[in-house]
Amino acid sequence: MNQVRTRMAPSPTGEMHVGSMATLLKNYAFAKRNGGQFLLRIEDTDKEREVAGGVQAIQDIIRRYGLDWDEGPGKEGEYGPYIQSQRLDIYKREVQSLIDNDKAYYCFCSKERLAEVKETQIASKQPPHYDRHCLNIDKEEAKRRVSNGEDYVIRLKVPANQEITFTDLLRGEITFNSNLIDDQVLLKSDGYPTYHLGVVIDDHLMKITHIMRGEEWISSTPKHVLLYQAFGWELPVFAHIPVFLNPDGKGKMSKRKGMVSAASFLDRGYLPEAMLNFFMILGWARKNQEEVMTLEDYINEFDPSDLSSNSVAFDIVKLNWLNGVYIRKLSLEQLEEKITPFVPVTFPKEKLAAVLPLIQERLVTLGDFEILTKFFYGDLNYETDLLLKKAESKELVIKQLETAIGAINSLKSWSLVDLETSIHTLQEKNDWHRGQFFMMLRLAVTGEKATPPLFETMFVIGKDLIIKRLEEALNKLN
Ligand code: GLU
């Protein structure tokens, strides 16, 4: 068998979708598993839809996920260039062979004419299609018109009423009737190929053996098969990967229901390793059913024929769980490095190292840092009534606060052990209800009902701020 070569062929028309990143991972892993190559090709032939900086953004996001390509932009291999806009002469050359072999033809129809044809077809309830007006223009005549500077496109001559069959690795045989396929434009009037032409020529010339792409391309595949046949080229293996559904399982994952770009997850503090692990287990299970796995495990085990053709929900609960698993695996040094971009400028940096061990367990994403640590430095904001919860009287709480302030003020040194001992002694000596007292204290010093362990937290907040907050609580009650 040929050397396995897979590819991802994104268009720079917007931010890369998480679904595309998941598909990219499959292509990457499959190539690695077989000792082959994974290529990155930029399909930038739709200049109207291209976004500024899009080509670079694609490369950046793939690398932020910790992945890389063997051939592609910046890594020129034997089959470059890998950016379609730099391959226009190749498309021209290849499409000429289709014309020479009567598999394609020049079309000089104006936009206005095409619009009229379409309108008439719709009015008579026909599916809109090109009416083959230019199909029979003599080749020499067409060449003359072209050299006279007339605008033209090149169209595929789709054979009538032919069954077009291809095998999809996940779905088996798929057949379309060619009557359903329009005479596709292959080369546009601006000299750029359409997606269909570019993708087929490049996948062939770049010796791609396996095409794994989103299932939204299934309906394009018969057009590609026709092109492979027209060129007389061998078909690669196709696998169309199901799209993700929204986390609620309803409908294709869409912006309307939350984040969808691959970058937005990292920007929110999901770790690339957790994202990749999540992509691995969506729609595919390991033989041993273990869900936490490394990229290396995946490369050793992943086989696209085991993928299900059913769409799966983007299970955010599972992703959150996995992200927590990966965050807890980090050493404190690693955590500090990764979380730094999420630390607000107002956060007192000198407390960072002490805070991290207190919150590591509770972080679902790195982006939770701010919310989990606000009380270490910011102003508190809680309802006064909460201080009185489970207390016999307001007077008792006032007394508890005053006594605690006194005890903390008289601590000789600021150490966790002394702090803890002194507060525990207070509670025991006065026989205060433990739950009530500690909950009140927690609320007064953090403004929250749930925090990391109370004394560690108080210790990191620091003596002055603790006293200030206990006094503020007293003021609220007086
Ligand atoms: N340029 C297409 C895209 O943006 C590539 C589709 C394919 O993989 O064939 O997704």
- Could you read off the pLDDT of 154-170 as tens digits, one per residue? 999 999 999 999 999 99
Proportion of the chain above pLDDT 90, given as a percent: 96
**pLDDT(73) > 90:** yes
Rounding to the nearest 10 degrees, give the CA dihedral for residues 84, 87, 89, 90. Answer: -100
Task: Encode pLDDT of 178-233 as tens digits.
Answer: 999 999 999 999 999 999 999 999 999 999 999 999 999 999 999 999 999 999 99
Same domain as 430, residue 365 = no
User: Does 362 share its domain with 271?
Assistant: yes
Residues paired with residue 126 on neighbouring β-strands, in sequence order: none
- The verdict on residue 364 lying in a domain is yes
The average pLDDT across 305-329 equals 96
For the chain, what percent of residues have pLDDT higher than 70? 100
Query: Are 338 and 400 found together in one domain?
Result: no
Q: Say yes or no to pLDDT of 1 above 80.
A: no
275 in a domain, yes or no?
yes
Does the residue 441 lie in any domain? yes
Task: Tell me how far the alpha carbon of residue 359 lies from the centroid of ligand 1, in angstroms.
Answer: 42
β-strand 312-313 against 244-245: which pairing, if any? parallel
For residues 454 and 415, state if they share a domain: yes
Helix (H, G, I), strand (E, B) or coil at 105: strand
CA quadruple 471, 476, 477, 478: dihedral, nearest 10: 80
The last residue of one of the domains, among 371, 399, 416, is: 371
Co-location of 282 and 333 in the same domain: yes
Q: Say how many Å lie between the CA of residue 191 and the centre of ligand 1.
A: 20
Question: Which residue in the list 92, 139, 143, 255 is annotated as catalytic?
Answer: 255
Q: Which of 44, 195, 196 to mutate to test the pocket of ligand 1 (most atoms within 8 A of CB)?
A: 195
Query: What number of other Cβ atoms are within 10 A of residue 233's Cβ?
Result: 14
371, 395, 430 — which closes off a domain?
371
In this structure, are residues 5 and 31 in contact, taking their beta carbons and an 8 Å threshold?
A: yes
Query: Would residue 189 count as lying in a domain?
Result: no
Tell me the two tokens of residue 249.
């399982």
Which of these, 303, 309, 301, 289, lies nearest to 242 by C-alpha position?
Answer: 309
Domain match, 362 and 411 both: no
Give the integer Cα–Cα distance in Å for 410 and 172.
78
Instruction: Give residues (CB < 6 A) around ligand 1.
Output: 9-11, 43, 195, 199, 213, 217
- For residue 255, indicate whether it is catalytic: yes
How does the average pLDDT of the chain come out, rounded? 96
Look at residue 319 and tell me whether its pLDDT is greater than 70. Answer: yes
Q: CATH number of the domain that 446 lies in? A: 1.10.10.350
390 and 365 within one domain: no
Cα(369) to centroid of ligand 1, in Å?
Answer: 37
Question: In the predicted model, what is the mean pLDDT of residues 412-418?
Answer: 96
> 102-105, long-range: CB within 8 Å, 24+ apart, which pairs?
102/157, 103/156, 103/157, 103/230, 103/231, 104/154, 104/155, 104/156, 104/157, 104/186, 104/230, 105/134, 105/135, 105/137, 105/142, 105/154, 105/155, 105/157
Q: Which of 250, 224, 293, 235 is nearest to 25 (CA)?
A: 293
In contact, 206 and 36? CB cutoff 8 Å:
no
The pLDDT of residue 318: 97
Closest ligand 1 atom number to CA of residue 43: 1
Q: How far is it, in rounded angstroms, from Cα 25 to Cα 280?
A: 8
Q: What is the pLDDT of residues 86-105, one digit of tens each?
A: 999 999 999 999 999 999 99
The answer to whether position 147 is within a domain reads no
DSSP state of 194: P
pLDDT in tens, 332-353: 999 999 999 999 999 999 999 9
User: How many whole angstroms separate alpha carbon 235 and alpha carbon 229?
Assistant: 8
For ligand 1, atom 10: residue with the closest CA: 10
Amino acid of residue 181 = I
> In the block, which residue shows the tokens 């009037």?
189
Picking from 320, 337, 371, the residue at the C-terminal end of a domain is: 371
* Ligand 1 pocket test, candidate residues 43, 58, 206, 220, most atoms within 8 A of CB: 43
Two tokens, residue 225: 């098969």
Whether residue 395 sits in one domain with residue 367: no
How many whole angstroms from 333 Cα to the centroid of ligand 1? 40
Q: Are 95 and 154 contacting, i.e. CB atoms less than 8 angstroms apart?
A: yes
State how many domains the chain has.
Answer: 2
Cα four-point dihedral sign 441, 444, 445, 450:
positive
pLDDT value of position 256? 83
Same domain, yes or no: 463 and 437:
yes
Q: Residue 287: pLDDT band by 50, 70, 90 thresholds?
A: confident
Q: Which two tokens stand for residue 307?
A: 């993928």
Q: Could you report the per-residue pLDDT of 267-279, keeping only the tens digit for each?
A: 999 999 999 999 9
Q: Can you say whether residue 72 is alpha, beta or left, with left for phi > 0 and alpha for psi between -120 and 50 degrees?
A: left
Is 40 domain-assigned? Answer: no
Cα of 45 vs centre of ligand 1, distance in Å, is 11
Same domain, 400 and 366: no
Residue 263: pLDDT above 80? yes
Position 285 pLDDT exceeds 90: no
Cross-strand pairs, 55: none
| Amino acid at position 54, single letter | G
Residue 427: inside a domain: yes
When computed from its CA atoms, the radius of gyration of the chain, rounded to whole angstroms, is: 32
Instruction: Please name every residue paired with 42 in a beta bridge, in sequence order, or none if there are none.
Output: 83
Quick one: 452 and 352 in the same domain?
no
Amino acid (one-letter) located at 104: A
Nearest protein CA to atom 5 of ligand 1, as residue:
9
316 and 390 belong to one structural domain? no
**How far apart are the two ends of the chain, measured CA to CA in Å?**
83
| pLDDT for the residue 152 | 98
- Percent of the chain as helix, strand, coil, to the nearest 5: 50, 10, 35
In the predicted structure, residue 383 carries a pLDDT above the cut 90 = yes
> Where residue 290 sits, what CATH number does that domain have?
1.10.1160.10
Asked if the structure places residue 38 within a domain, the reply is no
Structural domain of residue 401, as residue ranges?
A: 384-477
